[in-house]
Chains A and B, each alone.
Chain A
Amino acid sequence: MAEVLVAPRHRVERRAMGWWALRAAAVTVVVGGVLGVGYLLITPWRGVLGPVLLVALGVGLVHLVLAPPWRYAVHRWEVTGEAVYVRSGWFVREWRIAPISRVQTVDTVRGPVQQALGLATVTVTTASAAGPITLVGLDHRTADTVARELAEITQATPGDAT
């Protein structure tokens, strides 16, 4: 793919790995916690819940170790006067390109963990049901700048962008 389609210019912040790791850990803790409580309280089910718990913890651990650096290697973004271009994913990669003229709305989102890490997500929606393009793991100042510039460019574009 790299030979025919160059990667977007900018990497995401290194801190984003921490955010992805925290998210993965949180999911593992919740799932593992539910299964663990089930294992302790519902004794007749232990034969089934025991292996399931082990598998869940194993998958969670592998995901925690593997996914954040892999995502960091894959995730890239670029915004020009013509298009928003994002590469994301890890096991399944996705390249998404939307012309600026088709952008409907731009907003930034900062969850509590993102705020603690100084990160922000820029969400760019188009009229498609395919879902918004998200630029994750940006420094919150960069995100604000990007969102502001995008909004200015979008407002200058006529039409209803469908």
Chain B
Amino acid sequence: MSAGTDEHRGRGGDEPATPPPTFPNGDEAATGRSEQSARWERLDARVIWVDLVRVLLSLVPMVVTPVVFGGVVDGSVLWPVAVVGAVGVVGAVADVLRWLKTRYRITGERVEVRSGLLVRSHRSVRRDRIRSVDTTARLRHRLAGLRVVAVRAGDRTGGSASLRLDAVSAATAARLQDELPTGAGTATGTTAEPTGAEAGGAAKPEPAGAGTATGTTSGAGGAEAGLRAKPEPTGVGTTTRTVPGAGGDGVLATFRWAWVPYNAFTVWAFLTAAGLGWGAYWFGSTVGVDLAGVVAGLADWGALGTGWTVVVAVLAAGVVGVIGVGTAFVVEHWGFRLVRADGPRGTVLRTSHGLFRTRRVDRDDARLRGVELREPLPWRWSTATETSVVSTGLTANSWTTGASTILPKAPMADARRVAGAVLRDDRPLATPLRAHPPAALRRRLGWAVLVSGLLTGGLWWFAPGSWWLAGVGVVPVALGLAVLAYRSLGHALVGQHLVTSHGLNRTTVVLRRGAVIGVAFRQSVLQRRLGLVTLRTTTAAGAGVYPAPDLLVADGVALADATVPGLLTPYRGEMPVSSSTVGSAA
């Protein structure tokens, strides 16, 4: 899988000219577009203007501050302003240099980027290996009509993109997003309305690089229209039983204000509050306001006592943090839309959202292998669920990039509806899962007792006084968590999907049976005594391994055999063998 990207780093001086690209067929070369695309192109020149504006903006405080302070400027005020100015100017100049030294080229087979001033790099990605093309735009990009394009290929399943174009014009970005994953093809707009029979034709899978280049110029205005499109009613998403391969289903989900509380109440709220508080204090000190003094003057803290002061502080931080996180969520997910749109190589799952910084991610439906629903433990009572796709080329833990997440935390009902629509089958998540045997509960309870016992012993040995009592207090909590972990366990085989769920942050994975490329069983000595086994299905998509912990041995083997029919059949023994370690030797 790693053959998609070739990288040559550290070459000083100019590189030899790359030989002209060979095209998969003559038609494409004849259209003229390819000849034009085969040239090395610069990033959009508006990047320079954006950088110039950044330089000016970062110098503004230097001019304004003396005015505010009436010409009296001492070091404590000047330093932060100077640092802000210097960082801004250096960043902008570096960006201009990057623009000067970056060229990209799109041929019939490859996307290539050459960049770097001191360390020249030449990176190329084969177009048939491209798995997703994202566009993002910060506010400055949007004001200038620019988009940052990130191309992901199968070579790196981690967070970083295989290559980035920072930045090109919105029209170019839309064109790239429509064409790149396919080699060529008809460019459809970003709005989700399939145009009747044409949509069905466009949804027909085409071999990579062999499509026709008709209609490529029509994509120019499409992305802008899509990004500015008004939200459409969500009713379309409820039709979940559409025929597979029938083209785009339209809008599967749009932003709902009811989601905001689910995403605002997180542990990060306190961190956000701390960051906001520090930022406010720092800003206040630059303009000569002592914020700490203001807060100290709000109440008679001394009369309130330490305990209440802490309570008030925590509450205040919580409120500020939740408002901050909630605002950030709304800003990031403004105008959120999840649509199944027609791409040139079949349908794509497309999310687009953002108020200032817009983001659009296309995920190829042909690479979709399943869906993952995650319910964080602290918010289990509210049924808050985060939905992501299990797709080849997108790792499950890419929450840093968010490319696999198709729905932010939302009520379970919303998540299930969307997941059903994405799978085009709502049965896997509607079917109740089979519980795992009581021995699995015993194992978890045993671990809970062991861990809290070790904690208590450690505290008794190392910590002074009666700290070890805290260890005893942990026991009921640990037992409760063990029960919760047991209750998360479940599995089912529904039609063409294997459904498993496990974990304290209950994770339910619906995986297409055809996507399972191997099975593994794990059994520790303790599991063996309890008659349990952990089934691990391996797949090329997402996390790569999806476990079903602590099944009865016979059930585990039967489930694996049913998931991949015939794989285990030659090895399933009906007659009892005296011991697993003796018998048929080589």
Q: Which residues of A contact B (CB under 8 A)?
A: 1-11, 73-74, 80, 82-83, 85, 89, 91-99, 102, 104, 126-130, 133, 161-162
Stretch in B298-306, B422-430, B540-548 touching the partner: B540-548
Nearest 5 Cβ contacts at the A-B interface: A129-B544, A2-B580, A127-B540, A98-B518, A162-B540
Chain B residues within an 8 Å CB radius of A4: 553-554, 557-558, 572-573
Report the minimum CB–CB distance from B157 to chain A (whole Å).
Answer: 7
> Which of B501-545 touch A at CB < 8 Å?
515, 517-525, 528, 533, 536, 538-541, 543-545
Contact partner of B538 (CB less than 8 A), chosen from A11, A80, A126, is: A126
Chain A residues within an 8 Å CB radius of B583: 7
Is the beta-carbon distance between A1 and B517 smaller than 8 angstroms?
no
Is the beta-carbon distance between B585 and A104 smaller than 8 angstroms?
no
Is the beta-carbon distance between A9 and B584 smaller than 8 angstroms?
yes
Report the minimum CB–CB distance from A34 to chain B (whole Å).
Answer: 24
Contact partner of B518 (CB less than 8 A), chosen from A7, A8, A128, is: A128
Decide: A97 near B567, CB < 8 A? Known: A102-B517, A128-B540, A129-B544: yes
* Contacts across chains A and B counted by CB atoms under 8 Å: 124
A1 CA / B541 CA spacing, docked (Å): 29
Chain A residues within an 8 Å CB radius of B584: 7, 9
Q: What are 16 of the A-B contact pairs (CB < 8 Å)? A: A3-B573, A3-B576, A6-B572, A73-B581, A82-B566, A91-B524, A92-B523, A96-B520, A97-B519, A99-B564, A102-B518, A127-B517, A128-B517, A129-B395, A129-B544, A162-B517
A96 CA / B572 CA spacing, docked (Å): 14
Chain B residues within an 8 Å CB radius of A91: 524-525
Decide: A5 near B521, CB < 8 A? Known: A83-B567, A85-B571, A128-B538: yes
A98 CA / B558 CA spacing, docked (Å): 16
Q: A83 — nearest CB in chain B belongs to which residue?
A: B567
Is the beta-carbon distance between A128 and B554 smaller than 8 angstroms?
no
Is the beta-carbon distance between A1 and B520 smaller than 8 angstroms?
no
A128 CA / B517 CA spacing, docked (Å): 7
A92 CA / B533 CA spacing, docked (Å): 11
Decide: A95 near B520, CB < 8 A? Known: A129-B395, A129-B545, A130-B544: yes
Contact partner of B157 (CB less than 8 A), chosen from A8, A129, A133, A161, is: A129
Is the beta-carbon distance between A94 and B521 smaller than 8 angstroms?
yes
Which of A73, A74, A99 has the most chain B CB atoms inside 10 A of its CB?
A99
A91 CA / B557 CA spacing, docked (Å): 20
Is the beta-carbon distance between B1 and A127 smaller than 8 angstroms?
yes
Does B295 sit within 8 A of A, measured CB to CB?
no
Decide: A99 near B517, CB < 8 A? Known: A7-B584, A91-B525: yes
Does B568 sit within 8 A of A, measured CB to CB?
yes
A127 CA / B540 CA spacing, docked (Å): 5
Does B466 sit within 8 A of A, measured CB to CB?
no
Q: A101 — nearest CB in chain B belongs to which residue?
A: B517
Chain B residues within an 8 Å CB radius of A97: 518-520, 567-568, 571
Is the beta-carbon distance between B520 and A94 smaller than 8 angstroms?
yes
A92 CA / B583 CA spacing, docked (Å): 21
Chain A residues within an 8 Å CB radius of B586: 9-11
Q: Could you list 10 further interchain pairs (A-B, Cβ under 8 angstroms) beyond the known A8-B571, A92-B525?
A: A2-B579, A3-B554, A4-B557, A74-B581, A83-B570, A96-B518, A96-B521, A98-B518, A130-B536, A133-B518
